[in-house]
Amino acid sequence: MEETKKVMLSGIKPTGDLTLGSYLGAIKNWAERAEQFDCYYFMADLHALTTRNNPADLRRRTLEQLAQYVACGLDPEKNTLFIQSHVPAHAELGWVLNCYTMFGELSRMTQFKDKSRKNADNVNGGLFTYPSLMAADILLYQPDYVPVGDDQKQHVELTRDIAQRFNNLYSDTFKIPEPYIPKIGARVMDLQDPLSKMSKSDDVGTGRVCLMDKPEDIARKFKRAVTDSETGERCVRYAPEEKPGVANLMQIYAACTGRSFDAIEDEFAGHGYGDFKTAVGEAVIETLRPIREEASRIMKDKGYLETLCKNGAEKASYIANKTLRKVYKKVGLVPAVR
């Protein structure tokens, strides 16, 4: 008898372009999870509405992100890939859980405080209550694990509190998910500011490399990458505290070529930074080339994209609606006649 896989779920807002950091730090490892877990990955487009977006850009980025996931190796036959807004149960359960989330809990959320400062002219209700929607995103699929970084731990903790509160009131309804600390990929820093993580929301983009960047743009960005100060020891050596720029480039080169830091130091012994940065740029170009080409092909195949969206939404809805029906019954809503 085949053992049932544990369920894992993760969502990313399509509000920026996926970067080299997104790929090497996380997505590259996701494909391996399908052998161990029943994985759900969704494009969190409803969450993107808490800030003002150009509608055409949001639609494009949502579909591009989906195409890039597939191009990065996430097989839609082995993973459930879908767009959040295509599964109405997310918004429906989000409202119900709003009614079981305390005002004080929401007001203590660190990201609400941070985003309120950054978007002082648009502190809307969705920005305040989105943790309840995030709890719905998770609990609909009864997952065992939710991959989290440091910035999302608070949301998973709140989700667990909401689920336990609901279960205590109405008997066991939701599985209590556990945070999952994912396998650490390469930590890719900004090419212009190697003390800051490469960000997909950096509008300027001079220090980031996006998955869909053209080869000539990638080469140019690496040629301009920060290495050491002019007074430093100008050699390729892995010393993160002394030489954060060089260390970042070595991390990237190692992740793209599989070479160790010692091997990289030997390879570029006696060479200037110019040779090293050129080699890193070329390695990244070749790593991203098949992803860019496959994502571009998928984006041009409207029929395949529509099928991908439809199949993903159907698979996700089947599970999500079972949970939603159970919740509606527990809270006393009259079932709809279908």
pLDDT tens per residue across span 129-188: 999 999 999 999 999 999 876 667 888 999 999 999 999 999 999 999 998 877 666 789
Query: pLDDT class for 29, splitting at 50, 70, 90?
Result: confident
Residue 229: the pLDDT is: 61
Check: CB of residue 212 under 8 Å from CB of residue 61: no
DSSP 335: P
Q: What percent of the chain has pLDDT over 90?
A: 67
Cβ-count burial of 203 within 10 angstroms (0-12 exposed, 13-18 middle, 19+ buried)? exposed
pLDDT at 1 over 50: no
Copy the structure tokens of residue 77: 């036959």
| Phi-psi map region of 314: left, alpha, beta (phi>0 left; psi -120 to 50 alpha) | alpha
Residue of 121, 132, 43, 34 lying closest to 82 (CA atoms): 43
Could you give the CA distance from residue 85 to residue 316 in angstroms, rounded to a whole number?
Answer: 11
pLDDT tens per residue across span 85-136: 999 999 999 999 999 999 999 888 877 777 777 777 777 787 889 999 999 9
pLDDT tens per residue across span 210-254: 999 999 999 999 999 998 765 556 788 888 888 899 999 999 999
Residue 82: the pLDDT is: 97
Residue 201: the pLDDT is: 67
Cβ-count burial of 274 within 10 angstroms (0-12 exposed, 13-18 middle, 19+ buried)? exposed
Residue 148: the pLDDT is: 78
User: How many helices and strands, by DSSP H and E, does the chain display?
Assistant: 13, 5
Residue 126: the pLDDT is: 79
Residue 142: the pLDDT is: 97
Please state whether beta strands 178-180 and 79-83 pair in parallel, antiparallel, or not at all (unpaired).
unpaired
Residues designated catalytic: 115, 197, 200
Q: What percent of the chain has pLDDT over 70?
A: 94
Place of tokens 């877990």: 37
Place of tokens 């809270």: 331
Residue of 185, 183, 188, 193 lying closest to 284 (CA atoms): 188
pLDDT tens per residue across span 253-268: 999 999 999 999 999 9
- Across 324-333, average pLDDT: 97
Residue 2: the pLDDT is: 54
Could you give the CA distance from residue 153 to residue 71 in angstroms, rounded to a whole number?
Answer: 29
Q: Which long-range contacts (CB under 8 A, 24 or more apart) does 320-325 make?
A: 320/87, 320/89, 320/90, 320/93, 320/140, 320/141, 321/89, 323/89, 323/93, 323/139, 323/140, 323/141, 323/142, 323/173, 323/174, 324/89, 324/92, 324/93, 324/140
Residue 12: the pLDDT is: 85
Residue type (1 letter), 332: G
